[in-house]
Chain A
Amino acid sequence: MIHPTASARGWLTAFLGIARRETQRFVNQRGRFLAALVRPLVWLFIFAAGFRAVLGLSISPPYQTYVLYEVYVTPGLVAMIQLFNGMQSSLSMVYDRETGAMRTLLVSPFPRWFLLGSKLIAGVIVSIIQVFTFLAIAWFWGIRPPAWGYVAVIPALILSGLMLGAMGLFLSSAIRQLENFAGVMNFVIFPMFFASSALYPLWRMRESSPLLHDICLFNPFTHAVELIRFALYLQMNWTALAVVLGCLAAFFGAAVFMYDPQKGLWARRKGGPA
């Protein structure tokens, strides 16, 4: 028997298999694609139009001029797509665990960090497809960042997608049943999204509440938004990059720990990981 982990080809095959499965599931669940697209579009078309009238924005980096609120909010909505996609991955992990499909993944001879990492990357690929579909529609709505911004934003999307996906993976290890997912929506997704710079600039937040400003500043999602925002306008936000990389390492490390039978919480639970 040729050992599957003995060659690079075996690892590549396993990664491509996991990526293909995630894409097939995404394609099979057309409703998921539409929901992922409709959510930010509703924010862009309705919410942003309403807020444009009441929310004034001064010139702040990376923008060189005054911008419409729609322009400001677009990177936040891009990050929102990735946040929801990361949580969708988390939901699908919990679903896989409940239906038993997770066990086929975990009894593979490849190490768990690799299996989880492959699942994470596959999820990011799906989220980038969603993001570019959204950006294409936004272009017709007049949101037109520099052409090279669409290229420069890809690495930022990969990193922010990985960080949010890793957070989803970590959460999935802590959620025991699908029913608990509503709690994740209320206590993770919404606070993360609203207490960030996705919808309002941080300086605006400081004017109304210094405490809320500080909370937003410590929110990793804020830094994912800023990384995307700066990259889309061909600039680099080094602080955001450092925070995103640090949080990615922390969340992924925690997820691998939790899913490892040698160390994680699964080993101590009756009922186990699958």
Chain B
Amino acid sequence: MTAALEIDQVSHNFGAVQALKDVSLTVPQGGFTALLGVNGAGKTTLFSLITRLYNNRSGVIRVAGHDLRRQPSQALARLGVVFQSRAMDADLTIRQNLIYHASLHGIPGRLARPRIDEVLAQVDLADRADARITALSGGQSRRAEIARALIHRPELLLLDEATVGLDVKSRAEVLALTRRLIADHGVSALWATHIMDEIAPDDDLVILHRGQVLRHGPAAQIAGPDGLTRAFLDMTGVAA
């Protein structure tokens, strides 16, 4: 079966600074892969390469089997992205934003409207469809971003620190929602985070540090007997 995402030997530099070095990882179809790393580990750079915001000059990135460099349209059509910061237009309502985003994927209004009702129900925002983005709470805003990322029915969701800035309750809701989408709809997800609590023992876990993959495997196995936090600190040498 084709993986939802394959990253093979990808490196990236910003001038003399090496942000990523020979990164390789795979997100299986219908799987939840957590990408754990401290701030500055290279998570956002990696996401920018996968979404083609940056040019990938070395290595290969494939989304559902489509090479991002050779078939960018096919690859991007299969991606849903939740960025670290807000990406929706604050001047518009949730519905207007979703119609706009659907159109950016070639989905006309008559097909988009029922989909909008569907995804807003999935993220529990059906009653806020006509609210402006500025009127939403932090948690609602994140859920609206997830709805936006789902509107074109992507095969892979990329979530770049999707819970950043949220309170504990909203964080748990957004994480539970993502896990539910995977279980119910077969979407795959790459979840970038620096918060250990968001990783479950049976998650597929990638530890990224200073632009390199240190470990990739089941979270429980990486955590070992002392727990994930201890294992992470030992691996990275980051002070507790």
A-side interface residues toward B, CB under 8 Å? 1, 3-5, 7, 9-11, 13-14, 16-18, 20-21, 24-25, 28-29, 96, 99-101, 103-111, 115, 261-263, 266-270, 272-274
Contact = CB atoms under 8 A, between A and B. Distances in A.
A100 B104 contact: no
10 contacts: A9-B108, A21-B92, A21-B100, A24-B91, A100-B83, A101-B87, A104-B104, A106-B51, A262-B55, A273-B54
Contacts of A104: 87-88, 100-101, 104, 148
B126 interface: no
Contacts, number: 126
B48 interface: yes
Interface stretch (B30-38, B68-76, B202-210): B68-76
Interface in B123-155: 148, 152-153, 155
B234 interface: no
A100 B164 CA distance: 15
Contacts of A263: 55
Nearest to A10: B106
B107 interface: yes
At the interface, is chain B mostly helix, strand, loop or mixed? loop
A108 B51 CA distance: 9
B114 to A, nearest CB: 16
Nearest to B64: A1
B100 A4 contact: no
A109 B108 CA distance: 15
A111 B90 CA distance: 25
B100 A17 contact: yes
B236 interface: no
A103 B79 CA distance: 13
B61 interface: no
A256 to B, nearest CB: 14
Interface string B93-126: 0001001111111111000000000000000000
A1 B195 CA distance: 34
Contact of B79 (A13, A14, A107): A107
A13 B73 contact: no
Contact of A14 (B15, B91, B104): B104
Contact of A4 (B72, B77, B79): B77
A261 B92 contact: no
Nearest to B152: A4
B168 interface: no
At the interface, is chain A mostly helix, strand, loop or mixed? helix
A270 B17 CA distance: 10
Interface in B19-55: 48, 51-55
A28 B55 CA distance: 35
B54 A110 contact: no
A1 B153 contact: yes
Contact of A3 (B51, B53, B74, B101): B74
Contacts of A29: 91
B93 to A, nearest CB: 9
A16 B103 contact: yes
A107 B81 contact: yes
Contact of A25 (B14, B91, B107): B91
B89 A21 contact: yes
Contacts of B48: 272, 274
The 3 A-B pairs of least Cβ separation, nearest first, read A17-B103, A4-B106, A10-B106
A246 B171 CA distance: 53
A261 B108 contact: no
B86 interface: yes
B192 to A, nearest CB: 15
B85 interface: yes
B107 A13 contact: yes
Contacts of B86: 99-100
A5 to B, nearest CB: 5
Contacts of A28: 91-92
A47 B128 CA distance: 49
A32 B52 CA distance: 33
Given A1-B153, A3-B77, A99-B90, A24 B106 contact: no
B111 to A, nearest CB: 9
B73 A3 contact: yes
A109 B100 contact: no
Given A25-B92, A100-B85, A107-B79, A17 B52 contact: no
Nearest to B89: A101
B78 interface: yes
